[in-house]
Structure 1
Amino acid sequence: MSPITRISTPAARERGAIILTFAMMLLFLLGFAAIAMDLGRLFIVRTELQTALDSCALAAAQELDGQSTSITRALNAGVTAGNLNNVNLQSSTWDGQSKLAAGDISFKSASYTATTDPLAARYAQCQHTQPSVKTWLLPALAVVGGFATPNSVSGTAVATRASAQSACPVPVGLRGRNSTPPDYGFTVGEWVTIYGKNIGAGPGELGWYNLDGSTNASETTAELGTPGVCGVKVGDVLGTPGAQNSVDTAWNQRFGIYKNSDSAALSHPDLTGYAYTAYNWKNTVPQNAYSGTAAAGSATSAENFLAKRASFASFDNTGTSLTDGSNIVYGVTNKLNSFKSIATPGSTGDHAKYGFSRRLVIVPVLTSSSAVADFACMLMLAPMTGPSDDVQMEYRGNASATSSPCTTNGIAGGSAGPLVPVLVR
């Protein structure tokens, strides 16, 4: 019997070629699917991570006010704000991977060199890598193709502070002693008086002014409350209100001092209600109640505003008595008889629970025609003893100074005014 001879026909050869071609096409299709699915996921995670880093940098930059605690506050704010974002397909746990930590935040000076000096830090940088992003087809493609595939994404954000286009000031205007910026004749730390019975302010004085340009005295009280009026710009002309009737109520709420059924839960105080007058703070000009050291003869409880804010001190320092607080600040117990109660002190009290920064305020600097020329940062020193009584504020510098402790909400891009955080990289 003769051997069987197998003949390879053209059709058989074509079937083999088709199988080989299909296998190669399947490999390419697998690659395209990997790109569409896995690289798409990596892109989404990268976008989510960048949003978190932007939030981190903006929050950290807002705290860079040149104070000794600025970096500590910036680290806390940056980590908290960044981690409020969900990353890795909106995972609140970032898919079990590491979230932002203090080590992911660094700081730069005005010359953009690395610094850990809280007085010199001007830029906040948040940088983070999200590792081990889950992919499905890229690992298989790597096995077949023999090359490495990405499974992590990184991002960086840098922010600083820049002048806002508009501000959210209190309805008080400051007349400069001269027209020369940035301080208009004032010294950082000096006390300036609002003469309550005056209409408007003279050079070197403060006065009540309506931010909306009106002359209605009740509008002044409304603008002093929460949330107040924003959108005030350089060039706006403010209104001069008539006699004040109830502005002391809104003013004193910022110190945690309340009438009737008002309370800290309803009308938020500052983080401290401790007040400063020439009676309990004996420092000479510039008095610097904000960060200075109490001079000899000051009250035994006297410490600067930063220290009182850190301990959440009340108007009565560590107590809850309105009359005792009045005695500390004025030397008599009956200066605030029309008020009823004060916010409680300490880390578990009303100032800590309900308070935020309400005594460091933006004040318009005005021309003689009541037009806004600039903005100052000022500290509210003491409560008002009556709606028409004089009260003082401490000048803390031009609101656009890099060391200004005053911040505001707004869009960056102004030529003067309070600093707001802005992304620069």
Structure 2
Amino acid sequence: MHVIPDKALNRRPALPARQQGAVAVIVALSLAGLIGIVGLALDLGKLFVAKSELQNSADACALAAARELTGANTNQLKLAAAAGIATGQRHQVLFQGEQVVVERVTFSDHLTGVYQSAFEGTGALGMRFVRCEVNRSEIANWFIQVLNLMPGVDIGDQRVAASAVASVVPGQTTCALPVGVCESGLATKDVGDWLEALLVPGAGLSGDFLWVRFDGQGARDLKDILTGPGQCDVPAANQPIESETGMNVGVYSAWNTRFGAYQGSYNENNAPPDYSGYAYTAKNWDSCQNASEDFFQKRGQFTPIQSPSRHPTGLRVLPPAGASSESVHRNQGADRRLAIVPIVDCGALAGSSHTTTIKSWACVLMLHPLDQNSDSDAFDGCSSGTGNRVFLEYLGQADAPDSPCASAGVVGGPGSVGPLVPALVR
């Protein structure tokens, strides 16, 4: 009987030479694939965050720029581009690690039309859509480039871009002046016609428009609303509104700040003027209508108010007021003379009633500063009435597609009749 030695029983069979090291190769390839999968998830997440950050910047840029597309300033595209870039570049990208750079701001008169860079002139007035484009290139990957070890794979740095298009659309509510235009007075008025009211110190306004008091106004005086952005907490259409029977001390000087004519403690820092303070009366605009087109030109040139004392308009701003300069209108001017006002049922104010109803919203142009000289002949030819007069130019319904009035407010739904507000459309 053959006996097998114990040493032979404990010997392991030798592996074929061709299998040696195969496991290490498989593990290495598996690790590369695993790192690639993890890297794909992490790097795609990084790009997704960057895309979201860039989109926020583009949205903010477009909304800020659209606010300037009022059709009321021949250099509105320059202003819109500057506003959009300044707002968009306040955002950060790559986990808030660096400032976004706005690549391009362009404009068009139609949503699907040709977009072009900012320019000045009358052709700029028809531009109603703005597109902002931002991007960030050379975004380094964290892990995914490990797949470059595999044959035929070449993954480099990434580029992410975002864009947004905005315009102005009818809103729900807005910031408005405390002036109500009588619905009955508009029945015979066309766009461009002047609206007239009698200004009686201590007694308010009467005629085509009057002072009103909004529910959210509280204890604020008319002068505080006039020197500020207006009254922003306002009721919607078909809601009640109160008439303001008196006129606070200081309304004259507060109204006049919007023209860059300052008295007392008012100045361009606490009560900014419009882009132009140029005033219109029968003395320098004897047609007594359609002054807005000239005003849009004056805005583009940042033309200040005429002499703050006795000047070609026939008005006299008393007491002597300091007048702003072209540089003040250029650097600190804002949209202050194109105003949104409620259209109200003045017939409901007969007798002792002080409550009426908002029918809709109108866009008006503040034509001139208020004159404390009741003997002024500034409007002889525009009016057969006597006494101190104040005029506004009617520029149509505030929700009209071509309305020059735009404001900040809540975007309305289908059928909204509120004033135009900036909104993203793409």
TM-score by length of 1: 0.79
Counterparts of 1:8 and 1:420, CA distance in 2 = 85
Matched, 1:167 2:170: no
Query: Could you say which structure has the larger radius of gyration?
Result: 2
Match of 1:37 in 2: 42
Matched, 1:147 2:153: yes
Residues 314/121 of structure 1: CA separation in 2 closer, same or farther (3 Å cut): closer
Report the alpha carbon displacement of residue 275 of structure 1 after superposing the two structures with TM.
1.1
Matched, 1:337 2:305: no
Asked if structure 1 preserves the Cα contact closer than 8 Å seen for 2:340 and 2:361, the reply is: yes
Match of 1:219 in 2: 221
Report the alpha carbon displacement of residue 200 of structure 1 after superposing the two structures with TM.
6.5
Report the alpha carbon displacement of residue 43 of structure 1 after superposing the two structures with TM.
1.4
Post-superposition CA distance 1:193-246 (Å, at most 9, x none): 1222376755xx111111228898x73333323143213211221211222132
1:351-366 counterparts in 2 under 5 A?
Answer: 351-366=329-344
Counterparts of 2:373 and 2:13, CA distance in 1 = 109
Matched, 1:253 2:254: no
Report the alpha carbon displacement of residue 406 of structure 1 after superposing the two structures with TM.
1.2
Residues 108/280 of structure 1: CA separation in 2 closer, same or farther (3 Å cut): closer
Asked if structure 2 preserves the Cα contact closer than 8 Å seen for 1:408 and 1:419, the reply is: yes
Matched, 1:424 2:425: yes
Pairing partner for 2:245 from 233, 242, 245: 242
Match of 1:413 in 2: 412
Report the alpha carbon displacement of residue 171 of structure 1 after superposing the two structures with TM.
0.4
SS at match of 1:209: strand
SS at match of 1:401: coil
Residues 13/101 of structure 1: CA separation in 2 closer, same or farther (3 Å cut): closer
Matched, 1:309 2:299: yes
Percent identity, aligned pairs only, is 33
Counterparts of 2:216 and 2:204, CA distance in 1 = 14
Amino acid corresponding to residue 80 of structure 1 in structure 2: A
Amino acid corresponding to residue 228 of structure 2 in structure 1: T
Match of 1:294 in 2: none
Counterparts of 2:82 and 2:90, CA distance in 1 = 12
Pairing partner for 1:376 from 362, 368, 380: 362
1:51-200 counterparts in 2 under 5 A?
Answer: 51-66=56-71, 69-94=75-100, 99-102=101-104, 105-107=106-108, 109=110, 112-114=112-114, 118=124, 120-144=126-150, 146-149=152-155, 151-177=158-184, 184-197=187-200
Instruction: Point out where structure 2 has 5 or more consecutive residues left out of the alignment.
Output: 1-10, 117-122, 349-355, 375-387
| Structure holding more strand per residue | 2
SS at match of 2:224: helix
1:266-345 counterparts in 2 under 5 A?
Answer: 266-284=270-288, 287-291=289-293, 304-316=294-306, 322-323=308-309, 326-330=310-314, 335-338=316-319, 340-345=320-325
Residues 172/423 of structure 1: CA separation in 2 closer, same or farther (3 Å cut): same
Instruction: Point out where structure 1 has 5 or more consecutive residues left out of the alignment.
Output: 1-5, 292-303
Counterparts of 2:277 and 2:424, CA distance in 1 = 34
1:384-403 counterparts in 2 under 5 A?
Answer: 384-386=370-372, 389-403=388-402
Report the alpha carbon displacement of residue 158 of structure 1 after superposing the two structures with TM.
2.1
* Number of corresponding residues: 381
Residues 105/322 of structure 1: CA separation in 2 closer, same or farther (3 Å cut): closer
Report the alpha carbon displacement of residue 270 of structure 1 after superposing the two structures with TM.
1.6
